[in-house]
Every structure is written in structure tokens, then in C-alpha cells.
């Protein structure tokens, strides 16, 4: 039972990380209609930039994540402007290929700067808490709390603030929003920047638990895609539910069956769900 509670907390913490990554990706899909395959490499860059500010420059942990998030925001905006914007009228395969090019580029850059070896980010938050007999490391609690706070802020931003509402408007009807004076190009840049910012927060939070490497984004990339496909591309509630469901399924199968099955469970679930419902669980009618 103790092990179960322990793993449940680990699963929820992992779910928080997936959630922060998946929300950005699904927002980008909603607004740009692009599955951004470079998302995982933005996560990887976010982790390395946080690492750089924390270890090399020596600023406090929270500030390091903040600075990294801002830098990645700018990078996301640039990615939209330089890569996706010129391709906005191309067939959908072209975006994905360009995103793959960007992904390779980011990985090569990270490898050139920080090398291919694994690196460890020293955890600034140590200690653990005892909840219901299970030892929960403080870092995981920080992850859960931060994920909840960031998600609440994001919901407020999208539902209440004027800039956030433009994102939802564009998602619902691109032409219509342009008619009432919303600039789709600006919103696209904002969305991609925002997704890079969110995924950096996720990376900064999880890096002290995991190791850093230029390919660390690959498996996250695939899992997050499995999540948003599962939830239905472009659906926010779908992404949140999918993140926690898959994360808990992953930690549980790793614990009780084997780590290989744990790694594959996201994709097995994905195959099963799409075999039954090819548009994902929470799909809304996709308009083009």
C-alpha cells in the first residue's frame, strides 16, 4: 500500500510535467494547425538553459527557470516567424518536415555547446515529506504545486485576459477573428512562445530528478504527442486528463510489471484508443 501511494504521487508529479508540456503543444495545434514535432527539443533546450543559469552563472533556482522561460519564449516566437509562418499555406506534411529539421538543429546545437554526455542538475530543493507512510521527495511536491499554479494562471490568461482570449478566438475561427481585428500572425507567435515557455517550466522542474542529455526530449516528444492525440488535438481538458492518466499508467506499469512496458504503455494505450475512436477521446469538430 505504501508503495502504491508512493507511486501514485510519483505519477501525479510526472503528470504535472506532461501536462505543462502537452498544454503548449495542444495550444499550438489549435491555433496553427501544426503538430510541432520540435516541441521535445524545446523542452531539452529549456532544461539546458536552466542548467546553464543555475550551475554556470549561479543564479537561484526559481530565477534560472524564469530567465530560461523568457529566453525560450523568444525562441518560440522566432521559430514561428522563421519556420512556420512562411509555410502557413503549404500542405500539412511540409510543416512536420520543417519541424523535424528544427528538431535536429536544436539537438545538434545543444550537443555542440554542452556535449553529448549526461549531466546532472543539482537539486536545490532537498528533503522529503512523509504522507500516509510514503516518502515523497520535496522536489515532486514542488512540481505538483507549480503545475497546479501555472495551469490555473494559464486558464485565467486564456479565459479572462484580452491576449489570451484572442488565442481562443483564433482557435475557434481564424477568418472570423481576423475580421474583427485580431491579428492571426501575432497570435500565432504568442502561442508558440507560450508553448515554449510552458515546456521550459516543465523541463526546469523535472531536470533535478532526471538527467540532461541532448536527446532527452525525444521520448517526451512522443509521449506528449500520444497524450494530445489521446485527448483530441487542440483540446485543453483532453490534454490535462490525458497527461495525468498516462503518467499514472506509466508509473504503475513500471512498478508492477516492468520498466520496458512502462515506457511503451503510452503508445499501447494510444493504439488501443485510436483503434476504437480514430479522432481521440475528447475531439472537437476540427474545422479547416
Partner 1 sequence: MNALKNPRILGTLAVLLIIALTPVAFGDENYIMRVITVGLCSAIAVYGMNIILGFTGQLSLAQGGFFGIGAYTVGLLTTDFDWSFWQAFLVGVVGTSAIGYLFGLIALRTKDEYFAIFTMAIGFIIYLTISRWESVTHAHSGVNNVKFPEAGDLIDFSNPTAMFYLVFIILLACVYVTYAIRRSSVGRTLLTIRTSEDLADAIGVNVGLSKQLAFAASAFFGGIGGGLYASVVGFIGPDAATVDKTFEFLMFILVGGMGTVAGPLVGTMIVTFLFELFQDFQAYRFIVLGPIIIALVIFAPRGVVGYLGGFIDKRARKRRIGSARKDGSTPAGTPSSADAAGHRGAPADTITTTEEKK
- Shortest Cβ 283–partner 1 spacing (Å): 9
CA angle 282, 15, 235 (to 5 degrees): 20
Q: For partner 1, which stretch binds (CB under 8 A), given 61-69, 102-110, 120-128, 136-144?
A: 102-110
CA distance linking residue 280 with residue 241, whole number of Å: 12
Q: Is 274 in the site for partner 1 (CB under 8 A)?
A: yes
Query: Which position among 109, 178, 209, 248 is part of the footprint of partner 1 (CB under 8 A)?
Result: 109
Query: Which position among 27, 64, 65, 102 is part of the footprint of partner 1 (CB under 8 A)?
Result: 102
Contact string 54-83 vs partner 1 (x = CB under 8 A): ----------------------------xx
Quick one: cell of 161? 485576459
- Shortest Cβ 66–partner 1 spacing (Å): 28
Q: Is 253 in the site for partner 1 (CB under 8 A)?
A: no
CA distance linking residue 222 with residue 40, whole number of Å: 8
Q: For partner 1, which stretch binds (CB under 8 A), given 44-52, 128-136, 220-228, 236-244?
A: 220-228
The answer to whether 228 touches 25, Cβ cutoff 8 Å, is: yes
Q: Is 25 in the site for partner 1 (CB under 8 A)?
A: no
Bridge partners of residue 212, in order along the sequence: 119
Query: Which position among 151, 267, 281, 284 is part of the footprint of partner 1 (CB under 8 A)?
Result: 267
Name the packing angle between helices 39-51 and 92-114 (round to 10°). Answer: 20
- Shortest Cβ 37–partner 1 spacing (Å): 8
The answer to whether 215 touches 230, Cβ cutoff 8 Å, is: no
- Shortest Cβ 74–partner 1 spacing (Å): 18
SS3 152: helix
CA distances from 233 to 33, 36, 105, 138, 287 (A): 9, 12, 26, 33, 12
CA distance linking residue 123 with residue 212, whole number of Å: 13
Residues 218-227: b if buried by 16+ CB within 10 A, e if exposed: bebbbbbbbb
Size of the site for partner 1 (CB under 8 A): 46
Nearer to partner 1, 107 or 200 (CB): 107
Q: Is 281 in the site for partner 1 (CB under 8 A)?
A: no
**β-strand pairing of 119-120 with 134-137:** unpaired
- Shortest Cβ 187–partner 1 spacing (Å): 20
- Shortest Cβ 61–partner 1 spacing (Å): 30
Query: Which position among 104, 118, 156, 256 is part of the footprint of partner 1 (CB under 8 A)?
Result: 104
Contacting partner 1 within 173-192 (CB under 8 A): none
Candidates 118, 121, 53, 44; CA nearest to 75 is: 44
For the chain, the straight-line distance linking the first and the last C-alpha, in angstroms and rounded, comes to 49
SS3 209: coil
Nearer to partner 1, 69 or 224 (CB): 224
Residues forming the site for partner 1 (CB under 8 A)? 29, 35, 82-83, 86-87, 90-94, 96-98, 100-109, 111-112, 116, 214, 218, 222, 225-226, 229, 233, 260, 263-264, 267-268, 270-271, 274-275, 278-280
Amino acid at each position: 500500500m505504501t508503495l502504491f501511494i508512493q507511486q501514485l504521487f510519483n505519477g501525479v508529479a510526472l503528470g504535472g510535467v506532461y501536462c505543462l508540456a502537452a498544454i503548449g503543444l495542444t495550444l499550438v495545434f489549435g491555433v496553427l494547425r501544426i503538430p510541432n514535432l520540435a516541441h521535445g527539443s524545446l523542452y531539452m533546450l529549456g532544461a539546458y538553459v536552466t542548467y546553464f543559469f543555475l550551475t554556470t552563472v549561479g543564479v537561484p533556482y526559481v530565477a534560472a527557470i524564469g530567465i530560461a522561460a523568457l529566453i525560450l519564449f523568444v525562441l518560440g516566437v522566432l521559430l514561428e516567424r522563421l519556420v512556420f509562418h512562411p509555410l502557413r499555406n503549404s500542405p500539412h506534411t511540409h510543416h512536420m518536415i520543417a519541424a523535424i529539421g528544427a528538431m535536429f538543429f536544436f539537438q545538434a546545437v545543444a550537443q555542440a555547446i554542452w556535449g553529448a554526455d549526461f549531466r546532472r542538475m543539482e537539486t536545490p530543493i532537498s528533503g522529503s515529506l512523509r504522507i500516509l507512510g510514503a516518502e515523497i521527495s520535496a522536489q515532486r511536491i514542488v512540481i505538483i504545486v507549480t503545475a497546479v499554479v501555472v495551469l490555473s494562471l494559464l486558464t485565467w490568461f486564456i479565459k479572462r485576459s484580452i491576449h489570451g482570449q484572442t488565442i481562443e478566438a483564433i482557435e475557434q475561427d481564424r477568418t472570423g477573428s481576423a475580421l474583427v481585428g485580431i491579428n492571426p500572425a501575432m497570435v500565432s507567435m504568442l502561442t508558440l512562445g507560450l508553448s515554449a515557455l510552458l515546456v521550459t517550466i516543465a523541463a526546469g522542474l523535472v531536470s533535478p530528478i532526471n538527467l540532461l542529455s541532448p536527446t532527452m526530449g525525444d521520448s517526451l516528444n512522443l509521449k506528449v504527442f500520444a497524450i494530445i492525440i489521446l485527448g483530441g488535438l487542440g483540446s485543453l481538458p483532453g490534454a490535462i486528463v490525458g497527461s495525468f492518466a498516462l503518467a499514472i499508467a506509466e508509473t504503475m506499469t513500471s512498478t508492477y510489471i516492468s520498466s520496458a512496458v512502462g515506457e511503451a504503455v503510452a503508445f499501447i494505450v494510444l493504439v488501443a484508443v485510436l483503434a476504437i475512436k480514430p479522432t481521440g477521446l475528447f475531439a472537437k469538430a476540427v474545422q479547416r
